[in-house]
Structure formats: structure tokens, C-alpha cells
Amino acid sequence: MSDAPVEFFYDFNSPYGYVAAHKIEAVAAKHGRTVDWKPFLLGAVFKVTGAVPLPHVPMKGDYARHDFARSARFHDVTYNPPADFPFSPVAASRAVYWAKADGKAGEMTLALYNAALGEAQDIASPDAVVAIAAKAGFDGSALAAGLQDPAVKEELKTVTDEAISREIFGSPFMIVDGEGFWGADRFDMVERWLETGGW
């Protein structure tokens, strides 16, 4: 059996990504796996596919707004999104790649997701991201510098390009040994794939 990390692709605007971010680590750990946290820019993918954000889709948008909150409650996650939504996920995503070097991508992800979608905070600006991360125990001035690091910027670009080339059209998108699962409602399949290697 493989021990490859579970790849977890998500956009910081995605309520379903937020819910899944609260679950993925425990699911992976249960099967001896780690999580490879891969924030990406879903907006860049939508430019390729022509998709529009869920809330703007006729009929489905109304359902989605209702279901975001309902899904969060179902999974015991606090949901309180910001008024300015969608927001730029660039700074938050870069912060995750900066934290990844120290193996803290998961902690950074949850700190920023919780602030944005759990406490309606702005995470669009680098300053906001630094303040939230500092409060969560990260070194704020190191992060402020890290957000300008060309290697960090490049990593977000590379993973977003990777998402496009691997046809990762939504968030969250979880990949177990090459098998992709889209959506926070697919943990039953993710678990069975981890257990059995496929069906």
C-alpha cells in the first residue's frame, strides 16, 4: 500500500474547501497518510473552463448559499463568511506555501480559513494575512517577507497551472494515489479508497 500524501487542492473562497480542510487531516492520519496542502487560484481555472462561482449560477446559487451553511453545521464547523465574497485568495495561498517549508501548511490553512469563513474577517490583503498568522503563533515579520519571496509566489503559480493541467475544476479536490474526488461530500469515497486502494 502506498504511503503517498493525500493531495488536498482548495481555494480560500470555497466554503466546501473550508469544511473539508477541517476533516482531511484526520481522515488521512487514520490511514497512515499525511496531507499535501495545495491552495490554488480557482478563478484562474474558471477562466479556462468558463465556469462561474457557484453563488452566481441560476437556481444552483440559491441552493449553494443555503447548503454552505447547512454543510458547515452538518460537519460541526462554524460558518460566518465575509460580506466581501469572493475575495482575493492570493496572499492567503502564498502564506500557506511559505508555512509549508516548516511543515505548517495545515495550521496556516486553518488559521486563515477560520478567520475568513468562520469569523467573516478580511484575508485579502497581505497585512491582514500577516496579522491573523501572527495571532496564530507564526512569525509575522518573517511571513511579511515571505509573501514577497519569488519562490513562494512561483509555487502558487505552479500549483495553479498544475490544477489546470490535471483538470482540477473545483474546490475541494482530494487526490488519493492519483484518484481524484471533488467535494466535501466525498469523504466516504476517499476513506474507502484509502482503505482498499480502489473499487
Q: Which residues bind its own copies (CB under 8 A)?
A: 45, 48-51, 57-60, 62-63, 67, 70, 73-74, 167-170, 180, 182-183, 185-186, 188-189, 192, 199
Residue with Cβ nearer its own copies (77 or 144): 77
The minimum distance between CB 185 and its own copies, in angstroms, equals: 5
The minimum distance between CB 22 and its own copies, in angstroms, equals: 16
Residue with Cβ nearer its own copies (74 or 148): 74
The minimum distance between CB 58 and its own copies, in angstroms, equals: 4
Q: Using CA atoms, how far apart are residues 53 and 55, in angstroms rounded to an integer?
A: 6
Choose among 8, 18, 9: nearest CA to 111: 18
Residue with Cβ nearer its own copies (7 or 107): 7
CA dihedral sign of residues 123, 97, 155, 30: negative
A 10 A CB-CB count for 141 gives 9
**DSSP assigned state of 54:** G
**Please, what is the end-to-end C-alpha distance for the chain in angstroms?**
15
Q: Which residues of 36-72 are buried (b: 16+ CB within 10 A; e: fewer)?
A: bbbbbbbbebeeeeeeebbeeeeeeeeebeebbeebb
The minimum distance between CB 59 and its own copies, in angstroms, equals: 4
The minimum distance between CB 24 and its own copies, in angstroms, equals: 17
Residue with Cβ nearer its own copies (39 or 170): 170
Residue with Cβ nearer its own copies (8 or 98): 8
Pairing state of beta strands 6-10 and 35-39?
A: parallel
